[in-house]
Chains A and B, each alone.
Chain A
């Protein structure tokens, strides 16, 4: 029995000894980490500090898509360094400043002001240093100077597609996307600080989840439909219009009328998202193509005509007696020049943009049918485009029931629409009669490389019969070939369907329109009977020319020719 007790004691002692040895090993290790190598680790940590802010780093990118399918970064993260100083450790700020300035440019006033704050343990004095500059500065081993790794949002294209991309700015005290795609897709673009260290096994399940979940909840880069070369060409064209006619605003959209993919969308005046803080007027950041409504004028007439043809109320050969002006609800509705053309057909209504003719077509189909078509075109609702701040068109006048409202609406006055809603409706004239879904984001690419399409898959809404689309496209091609600028712009091998619009601008106080202020608009799609692209242009309050045919027709043609060459669009006649 004594032998058994001894064995038990021995076992307990052996076990205790093992625990003590392990504890001793840990204590020795702690000694080496804390005391022997402690200062080294501290210095290394200081120079390798990574900001813990999840708002700054790990934000996903936004890409343009080139014609050949390659991606070009529209918004990305850039990496560099910040120079930070510890003011209480600096004895001679001016000498230190001179030493730093031998390597990198530093704002003298800011540096000295920061160095004077002796009670402050940390002051940032210079930003966006490259790795080379940081290495050179680190080699100087300056007392009181720390280098902090920094990541910031960069826009390689500068102002290219600025209104589409938007930018990241401060909302309150934290950073997030505040305009454009940066805002709309902020949840997807924003990384989380834990994302770097996800367990590999958890990642597998996370990736599987991303395939079946809402893409807006998953972190990934946004691949847009914007083609950078086309976007640049559109912006050059818009700047040309701005230089020639100095409108308040000029904008344009180029879209595939079948799929709703927007390959270019631009507004001038624009801005550089890299230096958004230098813009004095925040109104510059808003996207009027989506966030503003306008009475767009005569480009509404093809929609009215198509509706009347679709309803069986008129045909292209239907005639009416144009007296130059008519009375409705006590108001005079007149043609742009007040002149009557006598008996004319519906083709002539479009050729000469006759307000009385548009009114005739709307009244022939009846107010109820006209209102039904206007709503079917989606003009009173949001398009659902993936850009923030979209507003609905204002077509409430059609529900008021006054004759003058229907008459005015038939030629694009008394109803205010967003340009994007108008483009969507106009696309239905050439694509067989369906409303496409305008969108700018095509896909989201996750960190693992999996790319998931986010293009709209809902079935397109049919507005017009295919034969109506054929008919109206033929009529608009005739407008371009024979009526617009007397047929000067006709292209021998390409049919183009187009229409101008010159709308009066309502008085700010209401009750009428300005005599000398107009909104010019223009749309065209080509080839007319199988369109590849629809182009929309508008200019708010241009100077020097009264009619849109003189301000926007030639820029449209320049863009159309560019697209024909760039995409090798074959001729259709």
Chain B
């Protein structure tokens, strides 16, 4: 009868039957995790940089639009009746009001040939 004694080095020196496969799988998972991590980090950095640039561009565009709107409002408010008349615009006179009891216009679909 063999006397099996506890040997403290037994675990470190003896390989479990499934250890090789477990190690391979773990290594593969770690590598995959590392690759995924690197991918998301780089994507986040690119995303961050792109968003900052987009934000700056958005502000610049907004500034340009703001200047154009200011100019539009200033020009619109400076229009006067005299300027309109100088352009040949005239008030509608005389004005006649009519009561229409039936449709005054309709669209006719083209006939297919």
CA A157 – CA B76 in complex, angstroms? 11
A571 CB contacts on chain B under 8 angstroms? 97
A291 to chain B, nearest CB (A): 26
CA A156 – CA B47 in complex, angstroms? 32
A229 CB contacts on chain B under 8 angstroms? 76
CA A57 – CA B9 in complex, angstroms? 66
B22 proximal to A (CB < 8 A): no
Q: Are B97 and A8 in contact (CB under 8 A)?
A: no
B66 proximal to A (CB < 8 A): yes
Binds B, one of A76-84, A96-104, A455-463: A76-84
Q: Are A196 and B52 in contact (CB under 8 A)?
A: yes
Q: Are B69 and A72 in contact (CB under 8 A)?
A: yes
Q: Are B62 and A76 in contact (CB under 8 A)?
A: yes
CA A228 – CA B69 in complex, angstroms? 12
A89 CB contacts on chain B under 8 angstroms? none
Report how many residues on chain A are interfacial, defined by Cβ distance under 8 Å: 31
Assuming the contacts A79-B60, A156-B73, A571-B97, asked whether A73 and B66 have C-beta atoms less than 8 A apart, the reply is: yes
CA A493 – CA B99 in complex, angstroms? 13
Q: Are B73 and A493 in contact (CB under 8 A)?
A: no
Q: Are B73 and A8 in contact (CB under 8 A)?
A: no
Q: Are A5 and B13 in contact (CB under 8 A)?
A: yes
A157 CB contacts on chain B under 8 angstroms? 69-70, 73
B94 to chain A, nearest CB (A): 12
Which one of B12, B52, B60, B77 has the greatest number of beta carbons of chain A within 10 Å?
B77
Encoded as 1 (CB less than 8 Å from any A CB) or 0, chain B from 26 to 58 comes to: 000000000000000000000110011001100
22 residue pairs of the A-B complex, CB under 8 angstroms, read: A4-B12, A4-B13, A5-B9, A5-B13, A50-B56, A73-B65, A73-B66, A76-B62, A76-B65, A77-B62, A78-B63, A78-B66, A79-B60, A79-B63, A151-B59, A156-B66, A156-B70, A157-B73, A160-B73, A200-B47, A228-B76, A571-B97
Given A4-B15, A232-B76, 19 additional A-B pairs, CB 8 A: A4-B14, A72-B69, A76-B66, A77-B59, A78-B62, A79-B56, A79-B62, A80-B63, A151-B59, A154-B63, A156-B70, A158-B70, A158-B74, A196-B52, A196-B55, A200-B47, A228-B73, A228-B76, A232-B77
